[in-house]
A = this chain, B = another copy of it.
Amino acid sequence: MSLETPYTPAIVVDQNILDANIYSMAAFAEENNLVLRPHAKTHKIGHIAHKQLAAGSPGLSVATVGEAEYFFNQGISDLFISYPLWVDPHSGKVLTRLATEGTLAIGTDSVTAVHRLADVTAQHPDIIIMIEINSGHNRSGVSAHQVVPIAEAVRKRHMTLGGVFTFPGHSYGPGEQNVAAEAEAKTLKSAEDYLREAGFEVSVLSGGSSPSAKATVAGGATEIRPGVYVFGDAQQYELGRVGMEEISLTIVTTVVSRDEGSEDTPARIIVDAGSKVLAADRAHWATGHGRVPGHPEARITGLSEHHGTIFWDSADLPEIGSRLHIIPNHVCVAVNLVDEIFVSDGQKVIDRWQVGARGMNS
C-alpha cells in the first residue's frame, strides 16, 4: 500500500481490499439469507456507502440523525438509526422529511422515548420503530420480556412497529464471538415470541456486530449490521477475525524521533501519529495502541496527542523522516478524526474522499 500521501499523519485505504471486504460480507449475507444493513458510522463516506448498496444492501444503519441526513443527501434513502434516540424538535423535522421521502427506521428502548418521538414528528405513520433489546452487552436495550409495553405505545401513537434489534457488543472479547452470536439469536427470538403472543407483527430481527456477524446463528437474526468489516482494524486482527491482508485502512505516519535504547530502556521510535489520529481506544487485551504491518514485534506502547511511542527491534530501527503504516485499534473513531482519506490502488494514491459525516454526533 502506498506511503506517498501528501502529508502525515494521513489515512490511506486500499481500494482493492476495501472492495473485496464489501463483497465478502455481501456474499456471506446472501448465502445465509440475511439482509446486510452495514453500519455507516465506521466510514461516514457516501462513496463507500454506494459501494455497499451496489453489493446488494437495501440501505444503511447509522448512529445519529446527522449521519442519517448526510447519507440521505448522498442519495441513500433507506436508513435505520440503530440508537435509542431522544429527539429534539429540530431533529424531529429532519426525521419527518426522511420518513416522508424515504424509508426510515428508528431505535428505542422506552415508552417515554416513543411518545417523545411521536410528539416531535406529529406521529408520522411511516416512521418504523425498532425496539432495542439487551443480549448481554449491558448497554442500552430492554430485556426481551419488557418489549410489549413499548410496542403498545407504538400502536397507540399510530406509528409502525418494524421489529427488534440488538448489539451483541460482548463479541469484542477474545473467544466471545460464538457466545455473543448465540445470545443474540436467543434474545431476538425470545423478544419476537413475546411480541407475537401479544398480537404484534414482527418483520425484522436485527443483530450482527463485526466480530460476530459471520457467526450469526441460523434462525436468529434476519438482518446484520456490521460496520468495521469494510476496513478491519487492530482489534479485529487481535481477536482473530481478520488477517493482516484483509485490512484495507492504515495510517501513514512519519518517524520524528528515535532512540537506540540502552541497558535500561528499549529502543524506540516516536511517530507523528498520536491520539488525535489513532484515538486512544484500547481494550484490556490489546497488545498496544495499534499494529505495524510487516513488523509483528513492534509495540505501540504510548500515545500522546501527536506522538506515538513504538518499541522496536534495535537492530532494525527506522530512520528519522522515514514513513510507516499503522493500523489503528478501532477504525471508526480514527476515521472520525480526519476530514479526508486517501485512496490507493495498492501502489499509489489515486483519489481522496471527504469524510462527509465526520463529527456528526447528534
B-chain residues with CB within 8 Å of residue A282 when the two chains form the complex: 280
Q: With the chains together, A91 CA to B268 CA distance in Å?
A: 26
Using A138-B265, A256-B84, A309-B139 as known contacts, say yes or no to A320 and B110 having CB atoms under 8 A apart: yes
* Chain B residue at minimal CB-CB distance from A262: B143
Q: Which stretch in A13-21, A154-162, A234-242, A298-306 binds the other chain?
A: A298-306
* Chain B residue at minimal CB-CB distance from A111: B320
Option from B84, B91, B256 in Cβ contact (under 8 Å) with A113: B256
Interface of A is mostly: loop
Copies of the chain in the assembly: 2
Q: With the chains together, A254 CA to B84 CA distance in Å?
A: 11
A306 contacts B361, C-beta separation under 8 Å? yes
Q: With the chains together, A282 CA to B9 CA distance in Å?
A: 23
With an 8 Å Cβ cutoff, the count of chain A residues facing the other chain is 60
Q: Shortest beta-carbon distance, A361 to chain B, in Å?
A: 5
B-chain residues with CB within 8 Å of residue A6 when the two chains form the complex: 88, 90
Q: Does A33 reach chain B (CB closer than 8 Å)?
A: no
Option from B112, B138, B280 in Cβ contact (under 8 Å) with A321: B112
B256 contacts A85, C-beta separation under 8 Å? yes
State which residues 1-41 of A face B: CB under 8 Å. 6-10, 41
* Chain B residue at minimal CB-CB distance from A172: B304
Q: Does A292 reach chain B (CB closer than 8 Å)?
A: no
State which residues 326-344 of A face B: CB under 8 Å. 332-333, 336-339
Q: With the chains together, A8 CA to B116 CA distance in Å?
A: 16
* Chain B residue at minimal CB-CB distance from A88: B7
Using A270-B84, A280-B280, A280-B281 as known contacts, say yes or no to A257 and B140 having CB atoms under 8 A apart: yes
A8 contacts B84, C-beta separation under 8 Å? no
Q: Does A351 reach chain B (CB closer than 8 Å)?
A: no
State which residues 241-290 of A face B: CB under 8 Å. 254-258, 265, 268, 270, 272, 275-277, 279-282
Q: With the chains together, A362 CA to B116 CA distance in Å?
A: 44
B280 contacts A139, C-beta separation under 8 Å? no
Q: Does A201 reach chain B (CB closer than 8 Å)?
A: no
* Chain B residue at minimal CB-CB distance from A309: B139
A336 contacts B337, C-beta separation under 8 Å? yes
State which residues 94-125 of A face B: CB under 8 Å. 109-110, 112-113, 116
Q: Does A214 reach chain B (CB closer than 8 Å)?
A: no
Option from B141, B321, B336 in Cβ contact (under 8 Å) with A276: B336
B169 contacts A306, C-beta separation under 8 Å? no
B279 contacts A86, C-beta separation under 8 Å? no
Q: Does A80 reach chain B (CB closer than 8 Å)?
A: no
B362 contacts A10, C-beta separation under 8 Å? yes
Q: With the chains together, A113 CA to B256 CA distance in Å?
A: 8
Using A86-B255, A305-B333, A337-B336 as known contacts, say yes or no to A113 and B276 having CB atoms under 8 A apart: no
B362 contacts A110, C-beta separation under 8 Å? no
B-chain residues with CB within 8 Å of residue A362 when the two chains form the complex: 7-10, 272
Interface pairs (10), CB distance under 8 Å: A84-B270, A85-B256, A86-B321, A113-B320, A116-B321, A138-B265, A139-B309, A275-B279, A280-B282, A305-B332
